[in-house]
Amino acid sequence: MVAITLVHGDITTMRVDAVVNAANNSLLGGGGVDGAIHRAGGPEVLAECRRLRETVLPDGLPTGEAVATTAGRLPAHHVIHTVGPVWDPRADRSELLASAYRQSLAVADELGAATVAFPAISAGAYGWPTADAARIAIRTVREVDPPCDVTFVLFSPEVFAAFQTALAEEG
Ligand code: ADP
């Protein structure tokens, strides 16, 4: 069974095998947690993202998929970049959000990363309603095989509270 821990804080401080970045399709940086990871990780992270764009991902990283780079100056060993879906009130894109978590953990497994930190994917600029984003996150990582240690690092008190509720209900 996947062990889930919730932390209220900044994912860039986490000493884990891999931190997951809620990136965008371009992989070339953005705001929110993406900006924070690139700022703290330094130019090596962006350089490796650029190399991915020039080689295996010329059209960028598709939504729901994941890819790893160095963690640069972060205390983590790897950054796993994934892209969550933008919230769409007219379409159910939950499966893509679940896929972002699942594919990130598949990449972690390939890397031999047993401790993984996630932000609340899609719950910021991409507008996913917080309670639902938390429920999908907890449900999805719970089921993953092989199990590893997952820490959700939640930046805002509101999102932290939503994950606490979801963990109490789903855990
Ligand atoms: P998305 O575009 O997938 O919605 P965002 O980065 O806009 O991604 O937001 C995702 C979540 O990450 C939000 O809950 C936001 O508050 C949070 N966040 C922003 N900075 C950090 C950080 N340094 N560590 C952890 N979470 C963060």
Per-run averaged pLDDT (10 residues), the chain, 171 residues: 95 98 97 98 98 98 98 98 98 98 98 98 98 98 95 98 96 66
Q: Please tell me whether the overall predicted TM-score, pTM, comes out greater than 0.85 for this model.
A: yes
d(CA 170, CA 136): 10
Minimum-distance ligand 1 atom for the alpha carbon of 22: 3
Q: Answer yes or no: is the C-beta of 151 below 6 A from any ligand 1 atom.
A: no
**Residue with CA closest to ligand 1 atom 1:** 122
Q: Which residues pair with 20 in a beta bridge?
A: 80
pLDDT value of residue 1:
81
What are the sequence ranges of the domains in the chain? 4-170
Domain 4-170 superfamily per CATH: Leucine Aminopeptidase, subunit E, domain 1 (3.40.220.10)
Instruction: Reply yes or no on whether 34 is catalytic.
Output: yes
pLDDT value of residue 171:
66
3-state secondary structure of 102: helix
d(CA 10, CA 20): 12
Cβ(119)–Cβ(85) below 8 Å:
no
